[in-house]
Structure formats: C-alpha cells, structure tokens
C-alpha cells in the first residue's frame, strides 16, 4: 500500500470539506467520474466505454468470472502461485458450474530465480477445452512479470479469452490492453497507483460487453433507471453495466489525481527508474550473501524484488527492519521489497546496510 501523493491528499480533503458544509450541492463529483474513466482508459490504451469503476481487484476478477456463461468441462488456465484474488472467483465458478481449473506450477531456473515458464502456460492453454487464461501480470511472491503480449497473442489467435490481474503492474510498468490482446483487466488503486484503498477499475473489451452479465444490478447500470415501474430493464451498452450503485467518490477522486500524476511522469519512465533502484539493491544484497529469487531479464523484471537468506529468519528480519522504519514483507517464505519511483538511492543503500550479513 503506497503513501498518498500530496495532490491526492489535497483533492480528498477538498472533497471532505465541501461535503461537510454543502453535502453534494454545487459539486461536480458524479460528472467528474467520466474524467476518471477516461484517464484510466488512456493509461492502458482502452476506450472510456470499456472502463468500469470498481472497489478492488477482487471485484473486477469476479465480474469477469461471473459475467460469462459457463458449461461443465470448460477449462480455466492460471498459475499455481496466484494471489487468492485471482483464484477464488474461478473456484466459485468451479463450484457453481463444474469448470476445471488448471494451475501451472512455478519452477526454479538454473540461476536460482523462480518463475512460471511461458511455454508451460501456452501448453496448458492449448487444451481444446481451455476457454480462458487468467494470470497476474506480475506475480506477488516472485516478482515475475509475465510476457502478457505473448500470452495475449496466443489466446486471441486460438479463440481463448484472456484475463489479467494488473494490480502489481499498473503504476510501475506500461500496460497496453490492445497491443497485449487483453480481454478483461482488473486492478485496485492502493498499490503502485498510489491512491486510496477501495477504488480501482475494470476493463472489458468492447466486443465482449454485450455478452457479459453484471454480477450485481442496481440503479446505476441500467439505461433508464427512473423507469422502475416497469418489469423490464435494459443494461447499459458499455462497461457502465458493471457499476451497480453509488460509487466510492473520495476513492475515485484520489485515484484520478494519482493516475494523472503517474501518467504525467510516464509509465515507461517510472519502470526504468524502479529498475535502477532494484539493480542497486541487488548489487548490495548479493554482496551481503542474499540469494535473488526474482527473474531480472528485461522481459520478466518488475517492481517487486524477492530475495532470501540462507541463514537468518525472514520473519525476524522483517521485524527488525520495521523497527528501523524500513518496510519489507515475507511472501511464500521469501523476503520482498517494492520501491517506487519516488524512493532514493540513499534509501536503498540504508536498507542494504541495515540487513544482517552472512
């Protein structure tokens, strides 16, 4: 969870101050949601009509899973190292409809890094019964950034749907849903996007919108929401059909401001800056005897760096570092750091210096 930028904090305070004195009167908050959708669309090279504002990544993945019509025997391919956000919605579809989930395992590479091989994913997706591939752009416990463009190309050419959990990439790495042939994408705003929790967005490729059913239905996702005396209703023809009711206004306001800041810096520039910081961290970590687990080739490197100690307790290291106001976490028994573009070389050096040696 990132710190909030000063402009984001100011925008949320302005919202709260206006709401405390005037409620919604004289405000343009609901109209401004159009700008939020448009900016989110621009960041991932989508159309504004393909964007729904949501609470979190779990909601977005659930919209993709629950919006499709399934039949017993349909196969969904994912990895064996997904965060639960990208697993439980598909498990619910298995419970409801009898679909099968295939989880491609992570393997250790000759250099000691761990990743899910691209060819293993494509081999599983080649199953004639495979209907959809769902994957995290960046794996939370290894830092592997998948070759989403290669997976998306395979899926589009072979008639498979492609769903991406992008919470660990948007804000840290470029994402282009058209170039990557992504059908569904979900993200929350509180990580690399540097916005409040409880906000995010869901992308659905426009050619698929009409065949998708919303998980929840309310006044906001129908065309004529004042015609409630009739037993008939018509869903919106765009991604607005996935927004069932009143939005998280302060969260969406914060997300728009933070996204605007990131977009002005440039996602490619941010990605490059993060890699400079991580390369510096790796040099220091290896010098102190730590093993790097995250793949670091240009295709696979992300903003997450996973490493481990052959001697020390990882939980004890995290506790000691937190006492020194240096934040890291244990994931799958390994240490994880995630510096953003605002971090400094001096902070990286201090983190390395404070870690116990071997």
Q: What confidence score (pLDDT) does residue 228 get? A: 75
Q: What confidence score (pLDDT) does residue 325 get? A: 96
User: Quick one: which of 198, 138, 227 has its CA closest to 174?
Assistant: 138
User: Quick one: which of 161, 230, 189 has its CA closest to 51?
Assistant: 189
Cβ–Cβ < 8 Å for 32, 53:
no
99-156 pLDDT, tens digit each: 999 999 999 999 889 999 999 999 999 999 999 999 999 999 999 999 999 999 999 9
Cβ–Cβ < 8 Å for 182, 279:
no
CATH of domain 6-265: 3.40.640.10
Of the candidate CATH numbers 3.90.1150.10, 3.90.230.10, 3.10.450.50, 3.40.50.720, the domain formed by 267-354 belongs to 3.90.1150.10
Give the integer Cα–Cα distance in Å for 59 and 203. Answer: 12
Domain range list for the chain: 6-265, 267-354
37-53 pLDDT, tens digit each: 999 999 999 999 999 99
Cβ–Cβ < 8 Å for 295, 307:
no
Give the integer Cα–Cα distance in Å for 138 and 81. Answer: 11
Kindly state the greatest CA–CA separation across the chain: 73
Point out the least confidently predicted range of 168-182, 186-200, 224-238: 224-238
Q: Evaluate if residue 296 carries a pLDDT over 80.
A: yes
SS (H, E, C) 214-225: CCCCCHHHECCC
């Amino acid at each position: 969870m990132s710190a909030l930028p000063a402009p984001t904090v100011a925008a949320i305070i302005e919202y709260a101050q206006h709401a405390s004195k005037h409620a919604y009167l004289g405000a343009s908050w609901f109209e401004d949601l159009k700008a939020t959708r448009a900016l989110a669309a621009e960041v991932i090279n989508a159309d504004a009509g393909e964007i729904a504002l949501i609470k979190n990544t779990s909601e977005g993945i659930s919209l993709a899973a629950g919006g499709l019509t399934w039949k017993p025997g349909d196969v969904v391919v994912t990895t064996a190292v997904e965060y639960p956000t990208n697993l439980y919605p598909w498990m619910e579809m298995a419970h409801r409809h009898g679909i099968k989930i295939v989880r491609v395992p992570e393997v250790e590479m000759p250099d000691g890094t761990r990743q899910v091989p691209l060819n293993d994913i494509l081999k599983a997706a080649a199953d004639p019964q495979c209907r959809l591939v769902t994957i995290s752009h960046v794996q939370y416990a290894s830092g592997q950034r998948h070759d989403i463009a290669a997976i998306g190309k395979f899926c589009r050419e072979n008639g498979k749907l492609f769903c991406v959990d992008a919470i660990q990439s948007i804000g840290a790495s470029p994402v282009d849903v058209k170039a990557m042939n992504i059908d569904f994408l979900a993200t929350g705003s509180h990580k690399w996007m540097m916005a409040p929790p409880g906000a995010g967005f869901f992308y659905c490729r426009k050619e698929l919108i009409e065949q998708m059913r919303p998980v929840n239905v309310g006044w906001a996702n129908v065309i004529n929401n004042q015609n409630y005396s009739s037993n008939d209703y018509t869903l919106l023809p765009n991604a607005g059909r996935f927004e069932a009711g009143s939005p998280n206004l302060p969260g969406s306001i914060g997300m728009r401001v933070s996204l605007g800041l990131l977009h002005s810096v440039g996602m490619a520039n941010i990605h490059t800056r993060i890699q400079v910081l991580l390369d510096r961290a790796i040099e220091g970590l290896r010098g102190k005897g730590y093993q790097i687990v995250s793949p670091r080739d240009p295709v696979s490197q992300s903003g997450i760096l996973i490493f481990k100690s052959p001697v020390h307790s990882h939980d004890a290291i995290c506790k000691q570092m937190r006492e020194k106001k240096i934040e890291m976490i244990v994931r799958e028994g390994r240490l994880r750091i995630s510096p953003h573009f605002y971090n400094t070389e001096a902070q990286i050096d201090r983190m390395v210096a404070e870690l116990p040696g071997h």
